[in-house]
Amino acid sequence: MKRYLLSVVFLVSISNLQAQKLQGTSSTGSQTQQFQGMAVYESKTSTADMKSRLSGNKEITPEMQKSIEERMKKMLEKTFILNFDKTASIYKEEEKLEAPGQNNGGFRMMSSMMGGGGTYYKNVKEKTFAVDKEFMGKEFLVKDSLPKLEWKLEGETKQIGGYTCYKATALKPVSQSDFRNFRPKKEEAKKEKPAEKEKKTNFMDDFEIPKEINITAWYAPEIPVNQGPEGYWGLPGLILEVSDDKTVILCSKIVLNSKEKAEIKAPSKGKVVTQKEYDEIVIKKMEEMREQFQKGGGRPTMRIGN
């Protein structure tokens, strides 16, 4: 316990000293300059479970499987830019030139459900967030309180981009509209009656979204802001890496106090809904699509991609 308390005091001391160094003063010495930074993150989500289920589904041809895997890879390997200051940040996917045929509603919808698209704004001082989402051709503005994770500070450290990072873990509630959180159902949950097995035509029936997942984060006290990628925040230093058992978000570049300041502003377009309301809209629509899929004998009613 004594060693743990000394570690906490040490981290707080580092944060205070770094804050004083990074803030600086103006030329007149009467006003503190606003500290700002930019971080680039690479996000990757494993598709091993999906590949396993696809290869075991007799109704999906090898050509279909290859096409699905290529689209999944594009949706699940992304680059994001985080612009942040002491109180707020914006997290946005890096803009890339889309290939012909991919700029359609279905592809954008699935990309959004896999963590891409839109601008994620969070204000850690007010403990609120806002993110614009496009779903089924409609624009939504999800505004809500920032989820507060009960972080457990660990003693383990590692180097990321020249910064000494400390480990923290937490149990995180899962958004039911974030399909990166799909997990294979446990064996006991997949048991079904022979008649039900014959009727099943959707391989996604073998997957589920858990209510909560274990999170591991690595934060740098040398950058004294309690910011991070996506909705992650609340640690005594910028989060440079965060992962669960499927998705890893890793910082690849950091720029502090650049002469060019980014505008950190909350998105404002779209129908305003809470996170719970948005999840319910997505779940309801996906259930409707699933029913249509099954009534059509397993034929999809909406194309994803070209």
Instruction: Kindly write down the DSSP assignment for every residue of 100-157, as one continuous string.
Output: TT--SHHHHHHHHHTT-SSEEEEETTTTEEEEEEEETTEEEEEEEEPP----EEEEEE
Judged on CB neighbours under 10 Å (0-12, 13-18, 19+), 290 is middle
- Residue 228: half-sphere exposure toward Cβ, Cα within 13 Å: 25
Does the residue 300 lie in any domain? Answer: no
Query: Could you tell me which residue, 206 or 102, shows the higher pLDDT?
Result: 206
Does the residue 151 lie in any domain? Answer: yes
Provide mean pLDDT across the span 293-305. 53
pLDDT of residue 179: 72
Mean pLDDT of all residues belonging to the chain = 76
Does the residue 306 lie in any domain? Answer: no
Does the residue 302 lie in any domain? Answer: no
3-class SS of residue 185: coil
Of all residues in the chain, what percent carry a pLDDT higher than 90? 41
Does the residue 9 lie in any domain? Answer: yes
Does the residue 19 lie in any domain? Answer: yes
Amino acid letter, residue 113? M
> Which pair of structure tokens corresponds to residue 178?
């974030």
Instruction: Find the domain containing 61 and state its range.
Output: 2-295
Q: Check residue 231 and report its DSSP letter.
A: T
Provide mean pLDDT across the span 255-264. 90
Q: Count the domains in the chain.
A: 1
Identify whether the C-beta of residue 237 lies closer than 8 Å to the C-beta of residue 220.
yes
Q: What is the pLDDT of residues 126-143, one digit of tens each?
A: 999 999 998 888 899 999
- Residue 56: half-sphere exposure toward Cβ, Cα within 13 Å: 10
Does the residue 304 lie in any domain? Answer: no
